[in-house]
Structure 1
Amino acid sequence: MKLSYIVPVYNVEAYLDKCLQSLYNQSLELSDFEVVIVNDGSSDNSIEIIEKYRTLYQNITLIEQTNQGLSVARNNGIKQAKGDYILYVDSDDFLIRESIPNLLQKAIDLELDVLRGEYRYCDEAGNLLLLDDTKRHRYRYSYKIIDGDHLFQCIYCKEYYIPLLLIKRSLLIENRLYFREHVYFEDIEFAFKLSLLAKRVMYVPIVFYIYRLRAGSITRNLTSKKILDLFSAIKELKSYSRMIKYPERTNRVLEETVTQLTVYLLISLSTFAARDRKELLKQLDLKSISSLLVFGNMKEIIVSVLYNMLGTSVIWLLSPAVKLRNGLLK
């Protein structure tokens, strides 16, 4: 079997039909792929939609689990999958029609560990948004076989979206590479570890994945739990740069990623009520991030400079500015 789609499902009845239909709009023989659906304790009508597809197609495997989160669902999917390659598909997203066969065949023919494609955003209703061309500097690596260092340094562009990767399943199994469970932002650490393992990587600048922007997504609705998990991911990345000697460019990208994520964390903390903010700061060892690189867009540069000067006091300085901005946007 060539391909295993792994589709975690949790209360996505409004989007699931389009997602699953897109997996079958690829002109792949049913014997060449499977769809591993992990129902993560959905309480809506998602299971009815899944059962409808199971009556239509015999290549669907359904795993039922109590609600344990995306990372557990993905890990259970890996253990069940049988395809040579794995493609994770979030159940509120969907694939471009007829986009997968050529990408999959290229990965097989070239014996790639990882093939990275491109994506577009759509709004909550599924309408495509303007193509984001801000990462065009990775285009120079198109169709070249590179290694995992270059994947991390030049291709991710700090977009650690695991569903954009066709991954050789044996690479995950043999190296016991799984997602850290019961946490948010699990893609960040997983993507970095994957880049350490991959030897044959190719970037193909073809849009195949449509990422749906939802009001309730992880990055748009930060809770205290998500803040703590984000900081945990930041600390993990920071620790890698201390433990192992990486190429200079890899270390630079690690530090840039830590800076961007920390800026995002600081701005997010500034939106919390003062009492909640103080409570979170007691749990966050931000002193371990002694300083940030001064780079990026103007917002990142300003926040980095202020953090380097003021430490966590910058959060109180940011709070009125962020509230004013959010109020104007509303």
Structure 2
Amino acid sequence: MKPLAIIIPCYNMEKYILTALNSILNQENQESFCDVFIIDDGSQDNSLQIVEQFINKNKLNNFYFHKKNNGNWGSVINFAKNNLNLNSQYVTILDADDYYKEDLFAELKKHIDNNYDLIFTGFYEIKKKSRIHKGYLIPNKGDQIIAKKYMRFPSLIPLCKFFKTKLFTQLNDLEEKVSYQDIILWNKFIDLAENFYYIKKEYGYYLNHREGASSTQPFNEQRIKIMMKIINHLLIDKDIYLNGYLMALLMHLKKNTPKKDRKFIKLEGEFQSIRKFKLLWCPFGTRIIVKIGMFLYLNKLLINGSF
């Protein structure tokens, strides 16, 4: 059993996939440390040929390439869980437009045998004009075990998050042909997991402005309906810390949605439970201001269920 399995979803990533693959190839003892599963989700560019040439050129026995019909990000994760031999201690997802720092594996080796359910690190965000910023980190927390209540935080991209494989494979299948399923995957894994280790150092690079990425799509009717479906799905958990994240997400939606489309921001079911929420991912003073702002900003939504 190897320490790590890396799942790489790939759809029309000919401009980026080599950077992601090389960031693994250049890691210390990568062949003995990990298996890499590149899953092409019906690409229509040269991604397929680029990956095959890379594997053959470097004679890689631990890189595996799979092709499937297009079904969006969630379908790739389902394919990996249901069809691959994820015989590893941990599994992680590296989106094909992201990549790792060269010393990531050396750091992971220090912690991989401590039986944490999740190991995660910081990362850098690459924004427009190649500006690089530190990614979201848990405030005032260094390298240490993190309480479960702190795990409902805004940065849900899969980069530099290493899930215990036996828990990862227990997750229900994600919805296919729908965006933003990383939100569901993260929160459902946190439901299953019990212990978390945080490394407060940046070990990856997240491309935050790629054209065509779901995060850059406009806040139109389609995007809002998908996000509300996810929010309403997660509301059934009635976790006060998850509710804090959902409140922040609703606030973000309202802020960015044109007035004509705000009618699609609609809570369903027992949505009043979201009134009981706590925020732990921002400093105390900011937390009070944000909490008051949420109640004022979303008062109509919380009373009527819709704007």
1:51 deviates by 1.0
Match for 1:307: what amino acid? L
Q: Which runs of 5+ in 2 are unaligned?
A: 280-286
**1:136 and 2:139 aligned:** yes
Contact 1:263 1:300 in 2 (8 A): no
TM-score normalized with structure 2 length? 0.82
Q: Residue 160 of structure 1 corresponds to which residue in structure 2?
A: 156
More deviation in 260-269 or 226-235? 260-269
Shift in CA distance, 205/299, structure 1 to aligned 2, threshold 3 Å: closer
1:307 deviates by 2.9
Identity within the alignment, %: 19
**1:82 and 2:83 aligned:** no
Q: Residue 193 of structure 2 corresponds to which residue in structure 1?
A: 198
**1:71 and 2:74 aligned:** yes
Structure 2 distance, partners of 1:122, 1:44, is 24
1:232 corresponds, among 220, 224, 229, to: 229
SS at match of 2:134: coil
1:7 deviates by 0.1
More deviation in 203-212 or 86-95? 203-212
Shift in CA distance, 199/51, structure 1 to aligned 2, threshold 3 Å: same
Structure 1 distance, partners of 2:87, 2:190, is 22
Structure 1 distance, partners of 2:300, 2:171, is 42
Q: Residue 42 of structure 2 corresponds to which residue in structure 1?
A: 41
Shift in CA distance, 190/32, structure 1 to aligned 2, threshold 3 Å: same
Q: Residue 212 of structure 2 corresponds to which residue in structure 1?
A: 216
Shift in CA distance, 131/163, structure 1 to aligned 2, threshold 3 Å: closer
Question: 1:80-133 deviations in whole A, cap 9, x for unaligned?
Answer: 1332211100000110112123214412x21222111111101367x4513257
SS at match of 2:132: coil
Q: Residue 284 of structure 2 corresponds to which residue in structure 1?
A: none
Equivalent residues in 2 for 1:15-26 (5 A)?
Answer: 15-26=16-27
1:301 deviates by 5.2
**1:95 and 2:100 aligned:** yes
Structure 1 distance, partners of 2:100, 2:160, is 10
Contact 1:5 1:36 in 2 (8 A): yes
Structure 2 distance, partners of 1:44, 1:238, is 39
1:305 corresponds, among 281, 296, 302, to: 296
> More helix per residue: 1 or 2?
1
- RMSD of the TM alignment (CA)? 2.9
Match for 1:235: what amino acid? N
1:171 corresponds, among 145, 167, 174, to: 167
Structure 2 distance, partners of 1:297, 1:181, is 38
Contact 2:10 2:39 in 1 (8 A): yes
SS at match of 1:136: coil
1:191 deviates by 1.6
1:240 deviates by 1.1
**1:59 and 2:59 aligned:** no
1:255 deviates by 2.0
Shift in CA distance, 213/84, structure 1 to aligned 2, threshold 3 Å: same
Q: Residue 180 of structure 1 corresponds to which residue in structure 2?
A: 175
SS at match of 1:84: strand
Contact 1:8 1:73 in 2 (8 A): yes
1:303 deviates by 6.2
SS at match of 2:70: coil
SS at match of 1:163: coil
Question: 1:236-262 deviations in whole A, cap 9, x for unaligned?
Answer: 221111xxxxxxxxx332221121111
Structure 2 distance, partners of 1:294, 1:301, is 12
1:264 corresponds, among 239, 252, 261, to: 252
Match for 1:216: what amino acid? G
Contact 1:138 1:154 in 2 (8 A): no
1:115 corresponds, among 103, 113, 119, to: 119
Question: 1:300-320 deviations in whole A, cap 9, x for unaligned?
Answer: 85464143147799x99xxxx
TM-score normalized with structure 1 length? 0.77
Question: 1:66-86 deviations in whole A, cap 9, x for unaligned?
Answer: 110001112212331332211
Contact 1:4 1:87 in 2 (8 A): yes
SS at match of 2:154: coil
